[in-house]
A and B are shown apart, each in its own frame.
Chain A
Amino acid sequence: MKIANFRQMGTLLGLLLIILFFTIQLPDTFLTARNLINVSQQISMLAVVAFAMTVVMVMGDFDLSVGSMASLAGIVAAVLFALGYPLWIGVAAALAVGMLGGLLNGFLVAVVGILPFVATLGTLTIFSGLAFFVSGGRTIFGRDIPASFSGFARSGIPLDSIGLAGLKLPFLSISALVVLAITWVLLEQTTYGRRLYAIGGNREAARLAGVQVTRLRSSAFVLTGIGAAAAGLMYASRVASANPTQGAGLMLDAIAAVFLGMTMGKEGEPRVLATLVGVLILGILDNGLTQMSVDSYVREMLIGAIVLVAVATSSFRRSH
């Protein structure tokens, strides 16, 4: 039992070691309120996509299209802004596109029965092409983006009252926390979540035990699509522009974060709080290594290696 606990906690220990390492290496800049708030904002988009990804991975499925969905959602909102539509219409339309994209994924996977890898690889390409088509391949920026939209990412709740003068808890970080809370309630506190885990445990057995597998799988892809679109909006707000490739990097990192988190599951199952640990590991590594002026290519190799080491030690321990 103790060994199992240690295995589950290994990844968390890794996170603490990473924090300790940067605290020693960067004594003046790393463990400061300003930097940590900065990290929380940097990782907020990745976090939202990773939480959304957790929902489908709980069922043993995948969604490779989240990155291009994020780009598409940003483009849709920006194009509508450029056409003079009000803020809420742009945002609502972007989220609706996320929902429809998720519905398409869910239909292909759960109703048609295509492997999620193949189905979402197909929609990845479609969404990406659509983003280029809608935007004409251009980056939409400047006056086309309303100040109220880009202002969202730049503002936050002032923290003067708790003694951090001049600092704000960014709305982006708060958004990620809200998505975390929603996902946690959904997966851990509802019968819906229980059923998703059952589908991940054994789809056929779940079906025979009365779980409406097709319907639930489709709905989970819809949720993931909406999450990806939300992340796309956050990204567009942060850079005050939208271009058809800006979400592309999110997908692999999100999957990596969920995998890192899965090393903490009792039976290797994804849990959204564990996904958060995965996101923090990736985000903090990125932040710390950047501050240490480590070349970005080296950074990529390091992050890839760390994901592999974590997952490998976990599966090794599991099988011995």
Chain B
Amino acid sequence: MEFAGLSKLYGPATVLEDVTLRLQPGRVHALMGENGAGKSTFIKLLAGVVPADAMTVRKNGSEVTLRSAADATAAGFRFIHQELNIIPQLSVAENILLGQDMPVRARLLVNWTELARRAKQALAALGVEHINVRRHAGALGTGDRMLIKIASALVSHDGEAPPCLYVFDEPTAALNEAESEKLFAVIARLKEQGAAILYVSHRMEEVMRVCDDVTVLRNGRHVTSVQLAETSREAIILAMTGRDIANGFPARTAHPGTDIVCEMRDVSSATLSKLNFTLARGEIVGIAGLTGSGQTELLRLFLGLEKQTGGTARFEDVDLPSSPSEAWSRGVAYVPQERRSEGLMMHMNVRLNTLLPHYTGWRARRARENIRTVELSKRVHLKAEGPEQSVWQLSGGNQQKVVFARALGSIPRLLLLDEPTRGVDIGAKFEIYKLVRELSEQGSGIIMSSTDLPELLGMCDRILILSEGVQHAIVDPDGMASSDLLQMFYVADRMVTA
């Protein structure tokens, strides 16, 4: 399968220029690049959602036209996006066969037995047996929802070409480790069945593990296409960024102070217990653990959203804030995990999103606000047209920078970071690390929760390991590897459940 000469211009901006990609059946091909490199546009062209300015698609030597989403489906292309648009009110089987003609009985009534049979068949083809197809889809976890979407992509209408290409767009963004494993097993299976797979992801470890080939885009241009066996992690990063940032963590130049910002003694809440740690000015404490071990809840203790039920907790020698508004006014800044739903007002401009927690008094002066916004935007190296631009128009990395610009609005005394670099490309990640380092050197105490283990190891002074809400240990990351840390999660998990 070949996609040649793809070009796309949006107004005067060239988003893709003469990109060529060759995919082979039975191989997983990674598509990598920073945010704004043109990956999303590339996928939109393949899906027929956006018309290309130039594009030739050949399948087994014969040309295919892609003018609409229907063309792409008819050609056997299937797309699994990171947003899992399932219909929670319907059953799993209905979700899988959505868009198909329902099997009927007496020309009128839905044949539920047949529906369930077909759905089971689709899941079985993926090697998935554990999902009850008659359950409500809304009751399923994120990982199972992903499997449903894949099963649904697998089913083809009468008269359509059977699926020959699966495009996965950041499929593990919302999955935990175990769910990702299931997904990788399914991908391996699709591969065995002879499908070509295009795998778009930011996560280097995952790509190295799952994929056979890689194509790197940068600024809308094709940089390289190689077999992964013949390249290295460092070479791919270099190709993506055009600069060498393999050693991606800025070194600490000052030592954390001795003044204590917060102190936790046997603190507990509805979901947390036995929290015992102190955070000094300028110190970065990492929160680690398997997904859903209480990381977000721990951060939210400091916002008054998770109520303390026991122990002694002190923030700057007084009780913890009782509400987010009190928290911000006492110098707590929060970068939430979900940028779109918790972080930003997507349809509002950069100015409001940046300054919101920092409004004081009743008078709002636009000119002054603009100056302040530009100032903060500069500090986070935001690429935007200006304070008036709507946030949804920015790339993911730049959106995250807006959230950081907000946190910088006043030098925070306590900075709470929840997955600060999720869905952010490597270049922007590096800039965010630099910012975090800078803030710590200016004396902010920082608590950072992340599932990106190299990030925790590279940035933190100490790492607190949580397991099912219980503090298991605090470790010094010096000399540790990701695998050591991961090992500790599982040990902690066993100890808690035992």
The chain A residues found within 8 Å of chain B, CB to CB, are 188-195, 197-198, 201-202, 204-212, 266-269
Contacts of A205 in B (CB 8 A): 336, 341-345
Query: Cβ of A209 and Cβ of B364 under 8 Å apart?
Result: no
Given A190-B364, A191-B364, A195-B359, A210 and B352 contact (CB-CB distance below 8 Å): no
B360 at the interface (CB under 8 A from A): yes
Query: Cβ of B347 and Cβ of A267 under 8 Å apart?
Result: yes
Contacts of A269 in B (CB 8 A): 347
**Chain A to chain B contacts (Cβ below 8 Å), 19 pairs:** A189-B364, A190-B364, A191-B359, A191-B361, A194-B355, A194-B359, A195-B359, A198-B345, A198-B352, A201-B347, A202-B341, A202-B346, A205-B336, A205-B341, A205-B345, A210-B327, A210-B356, A211-B357, A267-B347
Interface centre among A204, A210, A266 (most CB of B within 10 A): A210
> Min CB distance, B227 to chain A, in Å?
42
Contacts of A195 in B (CB 8 A): 356, 359
Docked pose: A66 CA to B355 CA in angstroms: 33
> Min CB distance, A109 to chain B, in Å?
19
Query: Cβ of B329 and Cβ of A210 under 8 Å apart?
Result: yes
Query: Cβ of B348 and Cβ of A198 under 8 Å apart?
Result: yes
Query: Cβ of B362 and Cβ of A198 under 8 Å apart?
Result: no
Interface string of B361-393 (1 = CB under 8 A from A): 111100000000000000000000000001000
Identify the closest chain A residue to B339 (Cβ): A205
Docked pose: A164 CA to B187 CA in angstroms: 81
Query: Cβ of A212 and Cβ of B347 under 8 Å apart?
Result: no
B325 at the interface (CB under 8 A from A): yes
Given A202-B341, A210-B328, A193 and B347 contact (CB-CB distance below 8 Å): no
Query: Cβ of A266 and Cβ of B390 under 8 Å apart?
Result: yes
Docked pose: A102 CA to B197 CA in angstroms: 57
B303 at the interface (CB under 8 A from A): yes
Query: Cβ of A210 and Cβ of B324 under 8 Å apart?
Result: yes
Contact of B345 among A191, A201, A212, A268 (CB under 8 A): A201
Given A205-B342, A205-B343, A267-B348, A190 and B325 contact (CB-CB distance below 8 Å): no
> Min CB distance, A195 to chain B, in Å?
7
Identify the closest chain A residue to B341 (Cβ): A204
Docked pose: A197 CA to B362 CA in angstroms: 15
Query: Cβ of B356 and Cβ of A204 under 8 Å apart?
Result: no
User: For chain B, which range describes its interface: under 10, 10 to 19, 20 to 34, or 35 or more residues?
Assistant: 20 to 34
Identify the closest chain A residue to B356 (Cβ): A209
Identify the closest chain A residue to B300 (Cβ): A208
Contacts of B27 in A (CB 8 A): none
Query: Cβ of B352 and Cβ of A211 under 8 Å apart?
Result: no
> Min CB distance, B415 to chain A, in Å?
14
B323 at the interface (CB under 8 A from A): yes
Given A208-B334, A211-B325, A212-B323, A191 and B363 contact (CB-CB distance below 8 Å): yes
Contacts of B346 in A (CB 8 A): 201-202
Q: Which 9 pairs between the two chains have the least Cβ-Cβ distance? A: A201-B345, A210-B328, A191-B359, A201-B348, A210-B357, A267-B347, A210-B325, A202-B345, A209-B356
Identify the closest chain A residue to B358 (Cβ): A210
B437 at the interface (CB under 8 A from A): no
Interface string of B171-195 (1 = CB under 8 A from A): 0000000000000000000000000
Contact of A190 among B342, B344, B347, B363 (CB under 8 A): B363
B29 at the interface (CB under 8 A from A): no
Given A190-B362, A190-B363, A267-B390, A208 and B344 contact (CB-CB distance below 8 Å): no
Docked pose: A115 CA to B95 CA in angstroms: 28
Contacts of B357 in A (CB 8 A): 209-211
B218 at the interface (CB under 8 A from A): no
Docked pose: A207 CA to B304 CA in angstroms: 12
B462 at the interface (CB under 8 A from A): no
The chain B residues found within 8 Å of chain A, CB to CB, are 303, 323-325, 327-329, 334, 336, 341-348, 352, 355-357, 359-364, 390, 406
Given A208-B324, A210-B329, A269-B347, A189 and B363 contact (CB-CB distance below 8 Å): yes
Contacts of B325 in A (CB 8 A): 210-212
Contacts of A202 in B (CB 8 A): 341, 344-346, 348
Docked pose: A253 CA to B346 CA in angstroms: 29
Contacts of A211 in B (CB 8 A): 324-325, 356-357
Query: Cβ of A206 and Cβ of B323 under 8 Å apart?
Result: no
Docked pose: A268 CA to B348 CA in angstroms: 10
Docked pose: A267 CA to B334 CA in angstroms: 26
Contacts of A190 in B (CB 8 A): 362-364
Interface centre among B303, B347, B362, B363 (most CB of A within 10 A): B347
Contacts of B359 in A (CB 8 A): 191, 194-195
Contacts of B364 in A (CB 8 A): 188-191, 193-194
Contacts of B336 in A (CB 8 A): 205, 208
> Min CB distance, A55 to chain B, in Å?
16
Contacts of B324 in A (CB 8 A): 207-211
Docked pose: A193 CA to B352 CA in angstroms: 11
Contacts of A207 in B (CB 8 A): 324
Contacts of A192 in B (CB 8 A): 362
Query: Cβ of B348 and Cβ of A197 under 8 Å apart?
Result: yes
Given A190-B363, A210-B325, A267-B390, A197 and B352 contact (CB-CB distance below 8 Å): yes
Interface centre among A188, A190, A191 (most CB of B within 10 A): A191
Identify the closest chain B residue to A191 (Cβ): B359
Query: Cβ of A208 and Cβ of B363 under 8 Å apart?
Result: no
> Min CB distance, B458 to chain A, in Å?
27
> Min CB distance, A29 to chain B, in Å?
42
Identify the closest chain B residue to A201 (Cβ): B345
Contacts of B352 in A (CB 8 A): 194, 197-198, 201
Docked pose: A116 CA to B57 CA in angstroms: 51
> Min CB distance, B386 to chain A, in Å?
12
Contacts of A210 in B (CB 8 A): 324-325, 327-329, 356-357
Identify the closest chain A residue to B406 (Cβ): A209
Query: Cβ of A206 and Cβ of B341 under 8 Å apart?
Result: no
Docked pose: A192 CA to B341 CA in angstroms: 22
Docked pose: A145 CA to B174 CA in angstroms: 66
